[in-house]
Structure 1
Amino acid sequence: MAKVISLINLKGGVGKTTLTVALAEFMAAVYGLKVLVIDIDPQTNSTVALIDEHEWKRRNVRGQTLLSVFKDSVNKYPVFSADEAIIKDVSNVGGGIKGLDLLPSSIDLIEFQDEVLYKGKGVTQDSVMQLRNAIADRINEYDMVMIDCPPDLGLFTQNGLLISDYYLIPVVPDILSTYGIPQIVQRINRFKKNTASKISPLGLVVSKYRAQASVHKGQLHRLKSSAVKLGYQRVFSTIIPENNQSAAAMDYSASYQNLQEKYSYNRPYQEYRQLTEEVLKYVKR
């Protein structure tokens, strides 16, 4: 049975997409797991990090993205097909990593969400079940499912949370990136109670860490000491330092023979591999 992890932070720029993609690639390539990435962020960053932008555009025009999951709820004739939308063996490593699949996002989700809000429909019990209903027949073909959520707790994020076993919060250890953590935990606890979902906190992953920055050191200490009290369970031991290679690795136009080449042969390759091992250790499979 698949284990599902949503990655979420209310602030952008914390390395959420990089972490989603890296964990998925290492789980598939190093640990031999069958992994599905679901990109529910309208920014489509995970999507274009794993497939060519022209391929994404072609699929978007044909309705072979996550957008169709939500449009089907208002259209008379449903068009979404998981078989057609899920792209197999994605990544810019080795021409694609076997066992790593993608359900791509669409920038048109922004317009759809605005339309829903404009019509005053809001988020309902039925509307947060759309993703679950759409992929119910396929999800358990995978060992792990990684969901890249937008930086909010709206309709799309709630669809991801409903099917998730865990949520993971990537943070940069500064004031702005960590300020909303209690709100995330509280809102998800309330969502869990209201929907009877099974989601639990997996922990915080510190990224873009600058060892020489006193603010980062101080915030890291506070995050570790507050983990149980604030309810996010733990701060992962593996810390992802600030580096240019991680950002460059998300450019699909560059191709790599293996993960060592993509993430550099020393760092951050070792950090991502260690973090993947640590995440899998805490996931009950």
Structure 2
Amino acid sequence: MSTVISIINLKGGVGKTTITVALAEFLAVEHHKRVLVIDLDPQTNSTVALIGEDEWKRRNEGGQTLYALFKDHIDDTYTFEMDKSIVRRTSNLFGGLDNLHLLPSSLDFVKIQDRLIYIWQTALIRPFDVLKNAVKNHLDDYDYVLIDCPPNLGIVTQNGLNISDWYLIPAIPDHLSTYGIPQIISSVKNFNRKKSSGEVQLLGVVASMYRSNVSRHNTTLRSLKMQAEQGELTRLFETKVPLASKAADAAEYAEGVNTLKQKYGNSGNSLYEAFQSLAEELITYVQDERS
């Protein structure tokens, strides 16, 4: 059985994509899991980080992105082919990882976002069922499916939630980045009423771009921990992903990267150690929730 997790925050620039890609790579390399990343964010950052800009352009021009899937349902056309659109060897690690796959996004998503509500008129399905119908026969090919959602709770994000078991909220531990957490939780609860089966649950909040010497970060973490203790949040992950210059380097699709330590750094308090710990925490919590 696959574990499907949507990664969501209403605010951009909180490390959502960095966490998505890093978790995918650590799960694939260190835990030997079969992983699929579904990039629903029109910014295509996860896509470019995993296959590079040249390969993304080729696939975008060939209609092998999720934009083509949603556009088909709006225009009543049949151009998208799931088997051809899944990229089956991704990441710049070791020249590509056979067990890390990708469903790529497209900048063209922006062109049709306002039209998505009309999908039911042409496709005769609910707008948030598009992705579910497309991937339902593929999910069990993977141990983990990680969905990089856009920074909103619109129809595209709802498509991700509709196939998810859990959702994860990365947030910089400051007021602006955590302000929308109650809204996310409330909106997902409302969305659960629309789902035909199961509910998507909050797996937890992950502190990202953390700086230990910033007092407001530590104050916010104490507040989030108290909310978790009071049952307002499922949990605050123990792992804190530090603010590090290596994060920008890791997001680049550079050739010749042969280890996770080389990509994420192996010095003290490094991204490597943080993401190693985060992946282990995530696996533990998923196992605990399933038992």
TM bucket normalised to smaller: over 0.9
Aligned residue for 2:47? Answer: 47
- Structure 1: give runs of 5+ residues left out of the alignment: none
Deviations 1:139-186 (A, max 9, x none): 110000000000000011000000000000000001100000000000
Q: Distance in 2 between matches of 1:237 and 1:120?
A: 42
Shift of 1:14: 0.6
Q: 1:227 to 1:125 in 2, by over 3 A?
A: farther
Report how many aligned residue pairs link the two structures.
283
The question of whether the paired residues in 1 share the 8 Å contact of 2:74 and 2:115 is answered with no
187-196 or 87-96: which moved more? 187-196
Q: Distance in 2 between matches of 1:67 and 1:128?
A: 14
Shift of 1:228: 5.0
Shift of 1:261: 0.4
Q: Percent identity?
A: 48
71-80 or 93-102: which moved more? 71-80
SS of the residue aligned with 1:225?
helix
SS of the residue aligned with 1:73?
helix
Q: Distance in 2 between matches of 1:7 and 1:32?
A: 21
Aligned residue for 1:103? Answer: 103
Aligned residue for 1:181? Answer: 181
Counterpart code for 1:261: Q
1:40-189 alignment, distance < 5 Å: 40-116=40-116, 126-189=126-189
Counterpart code for 1:248: D
The question of whether the paired residues in 1 share the 8 Å contact of 2:6 and 2:161 is answered with yes
Aligned residue for 1:17? Answer: 17
Counterpart code for 1:92: N
Q: Distance in 1 between matches of 2:263 and 2:88?
A: 20
Please tell me the root mean square deviation across aligned C-alpha atoms, in Å: 1.9
Residue from 271, 287, 290 that aligns with 1:268? 271
The question of whether the paired residues in 2 share the 8 Å contact of 1:185 and 1:231 is answered with no
Query: Is 1:213 the counterpart of 2:214 in the alignment?
Result: yes
220-229 or 49-58: which moved more? 220-229
- Structure 2: give runs of 5+ residues left out of the alignment: none
Counterpart code for 2:209: K
Q: Distance in 1 between matches of 2:83 and 2:233?
A: 35
Q: Distance in 2 between matches of 1:217 and 1:40?
A: 32
SS of the residue aligned with 1:194?
coil
The question of whether the paired residues in 1 share the 8 Å contact of 2:116 and 2:155 is answered with no
Q: Distance in 2 between matches of 1:156 and 1:199?
A: 15
